[in-house]
Structure 1
Amino acid sequence: MSGSGDPPRRGTKAFLAASAVAQICALARYTVLARLLGPEQLGLAAILILTAQFFESVTDSGSDRFLVQDKAGDDPALLRLTHLVSLGRGLLIAAGLVILAGPIAALAGAAELAPDIAVLAVAPLVMGLVHWDYRRQQRASDFRGEGRIVLVAEVVSLIATTGAALLVRDFTAILYGLITRALVTVIMSHLVARQRYALGYAGEYAPRLARFAWPLMVNGLLIFIGGQGDRILISNQLGVAELGHYSAVMLLIYYPSAMVMRFMTTMFLPRLAARKDEAAWDRAREALAGQTMLAALAMQFGFVLAAPIAVLLLYGERFEVAWLAVALIAILQSARFIRMWPVTEAMGLGRSHIVMVGNGVRLLAFPGAIAGLALLDGLEGIIAAFILAELIAFVLGLAMVNQAHRTPLFQGAARFCYFVIGSALLLAIVIAQKEAWWSVMAGGGVSLLVWAALLIRAEWPLLQDMLIILDRATGRRLLPVIRAAGRRSG
């Protein structure tokens, strides 16, 4: 919800719709590849995607977000500097992919990937020419430009990937999709721009951008290792086919959560960065915290119920996984999702080092995963270690943001406790079902109902605000009924 002092937001519905279509297209790409190619070829495609994400992460200066966050973001000189940085980044990634194609392929245990990794360099080279004016437009809460770019690029990329998969029948189909998406993104970014595209160095802004960027570049490496380390370890320890299985299931929750995360970050970052007054900041912060936690729990519980059926329907029996692994994947991704709360606040404050420190803590997952493999012997041990690291990183990030804003150190901890307790109850029920501990399962179910009632009571004001938005879209039919139910239960 926007407060009375917040600027009107334009294109939010279109941007949300475009984000939803983008994630549907991304999931459809993986579904097509899984159906046509199988786990091993899907695992090789996943290695190409991981390689692209690695180079993108370690070179991410955050210059496009700096346009939104910095007070001089509307100055054409800063936009020219952003374009110069973007072009340099594209050239650097492309050169790195070509030069290191052989070593990367050998490290992945798939030497035949070297030529394909070199071809992958075309995508970042093209992306270096993006016109970033659509980011500048978001300073005025105008999200229409990015919505159009995302919608067209993802749909065309899906068509290209599907066509290539039908023709070549191997993992290289993903290359056609990635290069097409980059090309269409660049074209669309120039079409929606309102300022002329130009490159230029701006001495007055470069030092500020450098101070903002260097923690994010270090952070990019940490994000990749922390966020994709589970797939790296699975590929290294359990094999490419197991990576294909895991990636297929993980992406069923990753894409919806990424859509919501991208939308919420795009909506909240300008409001937090504006910092007009304490009241506006507190409204934005409260809405971000509550919506993040509720969305994470909804995704987690929904995924555990729907994923086993969805895997069979979308991918077939070759990709079937145990319910316990599904529950752990759900908890892992929702734990990554809730970190958006302190991360977005830190970016709004301009404290990018907080994000870097939090991502550094996530590296605890690696020694934990080695221990998990020894104790639990398999996929579950790796995932459990990454869950624990994400939760520790969240607590540290929340404390650092609170300290930076001079609020109580653990403000918001109650919401985090609701998340942890709900996740633990869900996991207990799944384990009890697997071991046929029916009394434990019944007790967990009752505890879960009590927990849900307490959660709804604690978050009732926020839920009412969210229902107002829903009522506007449905003709104001739901809120009176739910309010009446709330009065009766009270």
Structure 2
Amino acid sequence: MFRTALLIFSGNAAASMLLLVRNLVVARLIPVEDYGIAATFAVVMAMVEMASALGLQQQIVQSKDGDDPQFQAALQGFQVLRGVIAGIVLFMIAEPVAQFLGIPEVIWAYQLLAIVPVIKAFEHFDVHRLSRQMRFWPLMLTGGIPALLSLLLVWPLATWLGDWQVMLYAILAQIAAMALTSHIVAERPYRLAFDRTTMATSLRFGWPLLANSVLMFLVFQGDKLIVGRVLGMDALAVFAMGMTLTLTPTMVFTKSAQNFFLPQLATLNRSKIDDNQRFHHIAMATCQAHILFSAIFVCFIAFLGQIILQILLGDKFSDLLPIFTMFAVLQGLRILKGGQSSVAFADGYSENSMISNLPRVLLLALGYWLAVKYENITAVIAVAILGEAAGFVIASILLWKRSKIGLAPVVRPASVVILLFALLLYEQQSVLTVLSSIAILVVFVLLIASMKELRVYFFKRSRLTCPPSAP
């Protein structure tokens, strides 16, 4: 088990770290304002992800027909159709987006990025099908190799162009390499089929995921649009860098955790007593694993943030330091929701994530008003933190109501970790003393003690996967 978990985590981490290094190198090589423009490409890429979020890849893993070649071909055909439509839409909205952000000179770049969903649509779904069998190497290579290529292209592109165009062409190369790699590592021949029944089933399965993706776009990119529109490209560069440095490890863990826990949960039949009990146990371990990583991540940023920023960026992004822990807490709260989302998804409630993201979206207007009133990033982040906290409460209630999962094993460690976040945010405003350090350590120990279900899960799994002792 631990070998599989390590493979998933290291594979996702390698791809994400390569992309993070790419972004950091680009930030070092081009002016801050140009990095702000380059950061707007993340908005366009998020639109691509939003348009892709019908859960077609997840259906290969979850559906009982996931190993059927005809079903796979039908999903791949639907993916191509969806990608072409998304590309046309992105091309049409390129000019309005550029005008809204006040950078009409990059309209052509946004139009060029419209080809991304078309290329991405030709991904071979075999890499996801193989994950059903707990074979993750193809999926890891499909993410890692393109990320490495994108990084390697940054230096020659910077030497040649020297501005925001570096990020544009690095992204295009990454997406093209991703589609190509998925075909190279696939076992089955690539086939397309256009089956109306499969499309209808996929739409029924995927509409909550698509709606949630729209909300996710507003959650992650709405803040950027507010900052870019109200505060300008320099402020957007600082905000985008804070999001990048904290979101990357967040996405690595949540993606790895879903890859690891989802197959275990999805294969259980809850109508059987033994399977239902096992589902409850793994569900609690899933939620608590997310809570534990959230605490570790936020503590890491709070204690080492200054060193990290100095090593990675020097003094170029010094305005980020006073608000770095706030970014970490924001992402930490999002990690907390990841456990509930994975469990709900495995139990067939894919719309839970959508509902729990509503507070963030509803508070965007407040964030915009505060940004205009106070003209700083801090107010935008504070509103986002409030929205994520409300979303966690909603996700927990939905898990209890719909999946009949007890709240105590979630509320107990979550209460401790929120206390930990409050202490870290308070210490961000003052000098860290010995007494406050001890208090933080005590709270962290209490957190570990509150996670009985997670400890039992890993202890049992370790015994099952360890070879028997020699007589």
Q: Show the 5 A alignment for 1:265-284.
A: 265-276=258-269, 277-284=275-282
Residues 226-241 of structure 1: matches in 2 within 5 Å?
A: 226-241=219-234
Q: How does 1:73-472 map to 2 (within 5 A)?
A: 73-276=66-269, 277-321=275-319, 323-370=321-368, 372-373=370-371, 378-408=376-406, 412-433=410-431, 444-459=436-451, 462=454
2:467 maps to none
In the alignment, is the contact (CA less than 8 A) between 2:281 and 2:453 conserved in 1? no
C-alpha distance 468-42 of structure 1, shift in aligned 2 (>3 A): farther
Flag the 1:321–1:468 CA change in 2: closer, same or farther, 3 A. Answer: farther
Q: Measure how far apart 1:377 and its partner are.
A: 5.1
CA distance in structure 2 between the aligned counterparts of 1:302 and 1:244, rounded to whole angstroms? 23
Distance in 2 of aligned mates of 1:43 and 1:238:
11
Moved more, 193-202 or 400-409: 400-409
CA shift, 1:44, in A, is 0.4
Q: Per-residue displacement from partner, 1:444-466 (whole Å, max 9, x unpaired)?
A: 44532332232232236735866
Is residue 39–residue 241 contact of structure 1 (8 Å, CA) maintained in 2?
yes
Question: 1 CA distance for matches of 2:404 and 2:452?
Answer: 27
Q: Which amino acid aligns with 2:221?
A: Q
Q: Write the distance in 2 (CA, Å) between the matches of 1:351 and 1:465.
A: 24
Residue type at the aligned position of 1:447: A
Task: Please tell me the root mean square deviation across aligned C-alpha atoms, in Å.
Answer: 2.6
TM-score, length of structure 2 as denominator length = 0.91
- 1:45 and 2:43 matched: no
Cα deviation, residue 383, structure 1: 0.3
Q: Is the 8 A contact 2:285 2:453 kept in 1?
A: no
Q: How far did 1:149 drift? A: 1.2
Could you tell me how far apart the structure 2 residues matched to 1:376 and 1:402 are? Answer: 39
Task: Spell out, residue by residue over 1:192-249, the C-alpha distance to the aligned partner (whole angstroms, 9 max, x if none).
Answer: 2222211113344333211111111111110110122222221122111111112223
1:370 and 1:394 map into 2 onto residues whose CA distance is 22
Specify whether residues 470 and 322 from structure 1 end up closer, same or farther in structure 2 by C-alpha distance, changes over 3 A only. farther
Are the structure 2 counterparts of residues 56 and 44 from structure 1 closer, same or farther at C-alpha, using a change threshold of 3 Å? same
For residues 310 and 368 of structure 1, what CA distance do their matches in structure 2 show? Answer: 31
Looking at structure 2, the residues matched to 108 and 39 of structure 1 have their Cα atoms a distance apart, in angstroms, of 16
The answer to whether the 8 Å contact 1:300/1:334 transfers is yes
CA contact (8 A) 1:346 1:401 kept: yes
Code of the residue aligned with 1:98 in structure 2: it is F
Report the Cα offset of residue 364 of structure 1.
Answer: 2.7
Structure 1 residues 271 and 112 mapped into 2: Cα distance closer, same or farther (>3 Å)?
same
* CA displacement, residues 241-264 of structure 1 (integer Å, 9 cap, x when unaligned): 111112223322221221112111
Say if 1:35 and 1:323 are closer, same or farther in 2 by CA, change over 3 A: closer
User: Which amino acid is 1:53 matched to?
Assistant: A
Query: Take 1:38 and 1:55, find their aligned partners in 2: how far apart are those partners?
Result: 26
Contact between 1:261 and 1:337, CA under 8 Å: does it hold in 2? yes
CA distance in 1, matches of 2:51, 2:213: 5
The letter of the residue matching 2:101 is: A
TM-score, normalised relative to structure 1: 0.87
* Residue pair 2:11, 2:140 contacting (<8 A) in 1 also: yes
What is the CA distance between 1:411 and its match in structure 2? Answer: 5.4
% identical equivalent positions:
24
- Please give the per-residue CA displacement for 1:336-376, whole angstroms capped at 9, x wherever unaligned: 12211111112111211212211223213313324544786
Secondary structure, in 3 states, of the residue corresponding to 1:269? Answer: helix
1:443 positional shift: 5.9
C-alpha distance 166-284 of structure 1, shift in aligned 2 (>3 A): farther
Counterpart of 1:21 in structure 2 is 14
**What letter corresponds to residue 37 of structure 1 in structure 2?**
I
CA 1:269 to 1:384, structure 2 compared with 1: closer, same or farther past 3 Å? same
Asked if the contact 2:280/2:405 (under 8 Å) is kept, the reply is no
Listed as ranges, the gaps of 5+ residues in structure 2 are 270-274, 465-471
Aligned length: 460
